[in-house]
């Protein structure tokens, strides 16, 4: 019984966080916080400064910026590990007496692929800005569906 409880994934499950947003309203004010849910034509946001839940009507929104975390470090780490693995395989497949050495081949491949991974991580970590002014109802509906996938609680009716 102890092992069933100790190994249960639900006990150690981390709560899913919604996307971090900056919402620029048509009146010129700005709200920054976590997207909790999309309800109909409104966004439920946990405001960062006050910690209060806010319901923001989509008609009052001019621009939404989805803040993304920079993944350069993670991309570089994964790229380096993959590159070192590929370099090791290539190094051991090559003649051990021929320059460069196996270790040098692994290091060169690791650094090269690590740099590529860092660039991919930087590109994937750039913020996304969504302009709502002038959009049709169908386009706004598509945007709301996309935002719903980024919310802490998905598919709220």
Cα-only R_g, the chain: 23
Give buried/exposed letters for 27-42 (b at 16+ CB in 10 A, else e): eeeebebbbbbbeeeb
In this structure, what are the phi and psi dihedrals at residue 65, rounded to the nearest 5 degrees?
Answer: -115, 125
Same structural domain, 87 and 114: yes
Cβ burial of 118 (10 Å; 0-12, 13-18, 19+) is buried
Question: Do 64 and 20 fall within a single domain?
Answer: yes
pLDDT tens digits for 28-44?
899 999 999 999 889 99
Q: Domain of 115?
A: 72-123
Count structural domains, the chain. 2
pTM above 0.85, yes or no: no
Domain shared by 45 and 89, yes or no? no
pLDDT at 12: 46
Number of other CB atoms surrounding residue 148 within 10 Å: 17
């Amino acid at each position: 019984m102890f092992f069933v409880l100790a190994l249960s994934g639900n006990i150690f499950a981390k709560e899913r966080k919604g996307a971090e947003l900056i919402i620029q309203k048509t009146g010129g004010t700005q709200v920054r916080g976590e997207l909790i849910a999309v309800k109909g034509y409104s966004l439920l946001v946990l405001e960062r400064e006050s910690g209060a839940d806010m319901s923001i009507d989509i008609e009052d929104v001019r621009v939404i910026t989805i803040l993304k975390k920079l993944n350069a470090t993670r991309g570089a780490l994964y790229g380096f590990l993959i590159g070192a693995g590929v370099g090791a395989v290539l190094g051991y497949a090559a003649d051990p007496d021929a320059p460069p050495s196996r270790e040098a081949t692994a290091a060169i491949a690791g650094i090269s692929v690590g740099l590529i991974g860092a660039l991919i991580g930087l590109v994937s970590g750039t913020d996304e800005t969504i302009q709502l002014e002038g959009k049709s109802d169908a386009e706004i509906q598509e945007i709301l569906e996309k935002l719903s996938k980024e919310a802490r609680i998905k598919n709220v009716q």
